[in-house]
Structure 1
Amino acid sequence: MELRIFTEPQQGATYDQLLAVARHAEDAGFGAFFRSDHYLKMGSVSGDPGPTDAWTTLAGLARDTSRIRLGTLMTAATFRLPGPLAITVAQVDQMSGGRVELGIGTGWYGDEHTAYGIPFPALGERFDRLEEQLAIITGMWDTPAGETFSHPGRYYPVSDSPALPKPVQQPRPPILLGGMGPKRTPRLAARYADEFNLPFASAADSAAQFDRVRAACGEIGRDPAELVWSNALVLCCGRNDAEVSSRAAAIGRDADELRANGVAGTPDEVLDTIGRYAKIGSQRIYLQVLDLGDLDHLDLVASEVLANL
């Protein structure tokens, strides 16, 4: 089981705050630093000082960190054109020395689209666009140097692209897909994903969706063992009940609710929760850290949880 750190900067964070968390996670031995790709806060928090762009952030972190892997949970396909996104991710992969991963999804938060003038088509079209984007992004990365790439798409037709630059990682940076959709999500994951991630899902629901993706792999003759299986869950760990409650209050949550739905409690409780997910085949947990100023939280999990996995 690998533990990774996952942040939600749209809730209020500067680049310097994100850099501090990423460097602390790197020094503490966590496997990766991931961030959401949103442009609008959620809930009652202020969202100050405003959003930071996911790939601009990761480009900076590519140069300001040295070992930790970097990625998105999840880049919204509605935010970006596939050709420029392929260029951006390949460039950040070069800037990081081959440490980047692309999590991508349909986009779901309608309010942020209207707040920033981004088109937000119906869900079926968003899935169509995501599928076309995946074909183009992977096609560009897989095209041998010196050859060109074309794709007769409905939304993003591509003709004679030089398909440059190439990422450092070969055959390509890992692609993460996820979500609880029962049909199209498993089919897309079976075809394109290197990792399948479920955010904020119970172990039982995760097991059922993992099985759907495995079945979709079987339908196209792909070995499900080629995929990494992962979950993302809110983190709230404390040395004792009082510290757990204090950390829960700091993020506006109830400690008992987080114990039921996240990775919460004392280090022993956190280890028990991680063990339940390991039993259903999860290989990575993305620990959603919401209080970015509480670096002692990362130190506690590193010393009392990560060290005992």
Structure 2
Amino acid sequence: MRVSVFTEPHRGASYDDQLRLARLAEESGFEGYLRADHYQSMGEELALPGPTDAWLTLAALARETSRIRLGTLVTSATFRLPGPLAVMVAQVDQMSGGRVDLGIGAGWYAREHTAYGLPFPSVGERFDRLAEQLKVITGLWRTPVGDKFSFHGDHYQLVDAPALPKPAQPAGPPIIIGGRGPKRTPELAAEFADEFNMPFKSVAETAAAYERVTEACHRTGRTEQDRPPLTMSAGIVIAIGRTDAEAQRRAAPLHEKSALPPEDPVIGSPAQLVDRIGEFAAIGTSRVHLRFIDLADLDHLELVAAEVLPQLG
């Protein structure tokens, strides 16, 4: 099982907080460090010191780490134009020596768009834009050096783009698409993704989402002959402790009012987390993203590294 650390710095974390956690995650044996791409917290709390831009942060972390994979879960297609985003991600991939994953989605949190003056079209248009962004990004990365890339869509038009720089990873950074959507999300995952992620839901809900994606792969003709198998991943919110009181203390922020949909956290012992990961493995999950709630709680990460990772093989 591949195990990554997932964080939500918009809830309140500086760059230094993220650097400290990413370095510890690398030293402790986690495969990846991925972060959310948001500009505002979902609750009512004042999240000091304020948001940090995902790709600025990952660029810096790329130079401060050496092994751990870095990425987003997930970048919102409403935040950046696809051409500059392709340049940005390719550059960070070069800076990291080929350790980047691009998680990308349609965007969903209206309030942060209003707060920072970002357009927030209808859900249908957001998915249409996401589909075009995926075509543009992958097209730019895969255009041979020396050739030009053009694209004429309903929302984006590119004319004779030099399609540079190229990512360090020959096929481009793996693309992660995830979410609970029943139709467009599975279709986009089947067409473009290297990894499908179901975020923070129950094992049963995750299994149903995997089934929808598998069916979409069959409908679109995606086969293992022409592309590697799709990685199925799951997000798990965790509050793990040596005692029940410690676990409950770590879970306290989960009880605050939030715009997020209901989640299915693991609150308890390391053994309970091992069991939950085993349940996910049984439905075909090969990568899990563990969401650590408090980025300053380094002991939480050390506990999981010491008592969970060794049991996962």
TM-score category, normalised to shorter length: over 0.9
Equivalent position to 1:293, from 281, 296, 305 = 296
Letter aligned with residue 171 of structure 2: P
Map of 1:283 onto structure 2:
286
Map of 2:95 onto structure 1:
95
CA deviations on 1:145-190 (whole Å, 9 max, x unpaired) are 0101111111111111110000000111100001111111111100
Aligned with 2:3: secondary structure? strand
Distance 1:299 1:56 in 2: 26
Letter aligned with residue 273 of structure 2: V
Contact 2:250 2:293 in 1 (8 A): no
Equivalent position to 2:264, from 235, 253, 261 = 261
Distance 1:115 1:34 in 2: 24
Map of 1:158 onto structure 2:
158
Distance 2:19 2:223 in 1: 37
Find out whether 1:234 has 2:272 as its counterpart. Answer: no
- State which drifts further: 108-117 or 269-278: 269-278
Contact 1:263 1:274 in 2 (8 A): no
CA deviations on 1:97-116 (whole Å, 9 max, x unpaired) are 00011000000000000000
Find out whether 1:51 has 2:54 as its counterpart. Answer: no
Map of 2:35 onto structure 1:
35
Map of 1:200 onto structure 2:
200
Contact 1:263 1:287 in 2 (8 A): no
Distance 2:72 2:280 in 1: 21
Contact 2:71 2:100 in 1 (8 A): yes
Map of 1:247 onto structure 2:
250
Cα distance, 1:248 vs structure 2: 1.6
Q: Map 1:172-191; keep pairs closer than 5 Å.
A: 172-191=172-191
Unaligned runs of 5+ in 2: 257-262
Cα distance, 1:226 vs structure 2: 1.2
- State which drifts further: 45-54 or 219-228: 219-228
Aligned with 2:23: secondary structure? helix
Aligned with 2:78: secondary structure? helix
Map of 2:128 onto structure 1:
128
Map of 2:77 onto structure 1:
77
Contact 2:180 2:198 in 1 (8 A): yes
Cα distance, 1:219 vs structure 2: 1.4
Map of 1:257 onto structure 2:
none
RMSD: 1.2
Distance 1:289 1:299 in 2: 11
Contact 2:101 2:175 in 1 (8 A): yes
Cα distance, 1:252 vs structure 2: 4.6
CA deviations on 1:234-287 (whole Å, 9 max, x unpaired) are 1111112122122223x3549xxxxx8113311111111111111111111111
Distance 2:107 2:61 in 1: 24
Letter aligned with residue 44 of structure 2: S
Aligned with 1:287: secondary structure? strand
Contact 2:103 2:175 in 1 (8 A): yes
Map of 2:259 onto structure 1:
none
Aligned with 1:231: secondary structure? strand
Letter aligned with residue 307 of structure 1: P
Paired residue total: 303
Alignment identity in percent? Answer: 59
CA deviations on 1:184-240 (whole Å, 9 max, x unpaired) are 111110000000001111111111111111111111221366110001121111112
Distance 2:121 2:288 in 1: 31
Cα distance, 1:45 vs structure 2: 2.2
Please report the TM-score for the alignment, with normalisation by the length of structure 1: 0.96
Contact 2:248 2:267 in 1 (8 A): no
Distance 1:263 1:97 in 2: 34
Contact 1:136 1:151 in 2 (8 A): yes
Map of 1:143 onto structure 2:
143
Unaligned runs of 5+ in 1: 255-259
Distance 2:267 2:286 in 1: 18
Map of 2:260 onto structure 1:
none
Letter aligned with residue 6 of structure 1: F
Distance 2:217 2:158 in 1: 28
Aligned with 2:48: secondary structure? coil
Distance 2:233 2:117 in 1: 33
Contact 1:14 1:49 in 2 (8 A): yes
Find out whether 1:270 has 2:273 as its counterpart. Answer: yes
